[in-house]
Amino acid sequence: MDLGIAGCWALVSGASRGLGLGCARALAKEGVNVICVARREDVLAEAVMDLQRSCPDPATRIIGVAADITSAQGRQRVFECPDGPGLRFDIVVTNSGGPPPGDFRDWTEETWLAAIRANMYAPIALIQATVDGMAERGFGRIVNITSGAVKAPIADLGLSNGARSGLTGVVAGLARSPLAAANVTINNLLPGAFLTDRLRSASSARAQAQGTSLETVLQERTNGVPARRLGSPDEFGAMCAYLCSQHAGYITGQNILMDGGAYPGVL
Ligand SMILES: NC(=O)c1ccc[n+]([C@@H]2O[C@H](COP(=O)([O-])OP(=O)(O)OC[C@H]3O[C@@H](n4cnc5c(N)ncnc54)[C@H](OP(=O)(O)O)[C@@H]3O)[C@@H](O)[C@H]2O)c1
């Protein structure tokens, strides 16, 4: 299926690894020009080279901007990238690392504000900067990578549960504003367990704490998924690209869970 977005400009943050890289790859394969953002320049440069090589059309532009997307200066650097489109993005995929796990009793006001800044305010700021231009041009797609924890909160991920639920509430209202009539959609993609560096390092920390092996912890995670496997960043990217396509204009304000059937509820 031709997604009808070749030649568009996308901003994908957290794009040097994992789910963000999966999204950038799926968009690049569709001929979308992508600005990829991550903090570590060397890892990002490697990802950008790899993405550029995988583009079917060599004219597709893949540009890396090393920046912290959770800071105002980082976002400014992205919007001022000399080879980029400025604020004229057609597609924005918001993503960064998740807040650390921990005990509710240990979290201070500063801990909470840092989580809210990274996982609630940063996506809002990216949307705020780009969405009115999208509406004027009559096309826009925003996809926020949040978490399955929005639907089924995880006790030791309270910072993530709280900050991402806040973003979800804001998006629910905004997506149904006049932006919808201007063909600008805003949706959230909720990953369950996907095999990325983040999942590997969280699992190896758990393995160490439990005195067991990484393989055992990964197998336990897999056993909790009806699909009996972990998700791949490429299948996550494929869903993201579809939500960004011309065909997905009637899908907005949705929370789309990808978890191999792990969430047990009806709705
Ligand atoms: N994987 C899962 O199973 C899963 C499940 C539920 C939710 N999630 C959420 O989905 C998101 C992506 O997860 P992932 O597994 O793909 O993580 P990952 O493998 O650790 O990749 C994270 C990517 O984001 C970049 N990044 C992190 N902080 C950033 C910042 N402040 N500014 C710009 N780039 C930043 C990282 O590069 P640098 O470090 O170089 O910046 C890297 O490219 C996270 O928020 C995670 O909590 C993941």
* Overall average pLDDT of the 19-29 stretch: 98
- Residue 207 CA to ligand 1 centre (angstroms): 21
- Reported confidence tier of residue 227, pLDDT bands at 50, 70, 90: very high
Which among 224, 237, 234, 243 has a CA at the least distance from the CA of 184?
243
Q: Which of 43, 75, 96, 199 to mutate to test the pocket of ligand 1 (most atoms within 8 A of CB)?
A: 96
- Residue 5 CA to ligand 1 centre (angstroms): 25
pLDDT for 170 equals 98
- Residue 209 CA to ligand 1 centre (angstroms): 22
Which among 208, 110, 107, 200 has a CA at the least distance from the CA of 158?
107
The verdict on the CB of residue 40 being under 6 Å from ligand 1 is yes
* Overall average pLDDT of the 107-122 stretch: 98
Instruction: Tell me the pLDDT of the chain averaged across its residues.
Output: 97
pLDDT for 104 equals 94
pLDDT for 196 equals 97
pLDDT tens per residue across span 191-226:
999 999 999 999 999 899 999 999 999 999 999 999
pLDDT for 161 equals 97
DSSP string computed for 177-217: STTGGGTEEEEEEEE-SB-SHHHHHHHHHHHHHHT--HHHH
Strands (E), 68-151: 91-94, 140-145
* Overall average pLDDT of the 229-243 stretch: 98
pLDDT for 172 equals 98
Quote the CA–CA distance of 165 and 102 in Å, as a whole number.
18
* Overall average pLDDT of the 135-161 stretch: 96
Listed by start position, the domains of the chain span: 9-194+232-258, 195-230
- Reported confidence tier of residue 182, pLDDT bands at 50, 70, 90: very high
pLDDT for 176 equals 97
pLDDT for 232 equals 98
9-194+232-258 CATH choice from 3.40.50.300, 1.10.10.10, 3.40.50.720, 1.10.520.10: 3.40.50.720
* Overall average pLDDT of the 71-94 stretch: 98
The verdict on the CB of residue 94 being under 6 Å from ligand 1 is no
Q: Whose CA is nearest to atom 1 of ligand 1?
A: 194
